[in-house]
Chain A
């Protein structure tokens, strides 16, 4: 079964606006990662946040992690049409072998 659940399933905004996507998970984790997928393509890693971190930044991306609520958020600031894609969270469980378990994704549409 899926570990992560993204919310919302779809998000439509205008260029320049901020986009916020949320991810909830069920079990304790070692780290949580966000990936991006353009339509029909492979996934691209965006950012990794460890379980002992609360916030991380990379360019226009900001990720937060609340382990007490078992949730994470991805904020894309000043969005661009090129940000249009599906975004997935993935959790690495506290097991010896770090398999990533992916959520179902948020489809982001940024209109010019």
Chain B
């Protein structure tokens, strides 16, 4: 069966410090991968998605970047964090069925920038 791992689960970082959140998917090949952000009490905002190694699409201009160095690895990064980067970050992959794509989420990473 497929599983998705995301880490770290919680992170407190000072303003201006770098960020690296990692996500790996097991049990599937060539998945579409996603990074979402959820501000407190809000819906999910799609940040990046990737359809293959080295292929990254950005949905919103921001202080973050994403990379996909391997088929089942997706990394969210920042060189210098801002206070506004605080939030709940969710990695996800999708499984295709005849009905459409279903998104499977990791457990999320809580980022607090202080």
Contact = CB atoms under 8 A, between A and B. Distances in A.
| Chain A interface main SS type | strand
Nearest to A31: B100
Interface string B12-40: 00000000000000000000101010000
A50 B43 contact: no
A98 B100 contact: yes
Interface footprint category on B:
20 to 34
Interface in A88-104: 88, 90, 92, 97-104
A35 B38 CA distance: 14
A85 interface: no
Given A2-B43, A43-B90, A100 B101 contact: yes
Contacts of A45: 102-104
A41 interface: yes
A44 to B, nearest CB: 7
A45 B103 CA distance: 7
Nearest to A4: B43
A43 B42 CA distance: 13
Interface of A: 2, 4, 30-31, 33, 35, 40-45, 48, 50, 88, 90, 92, 97-105
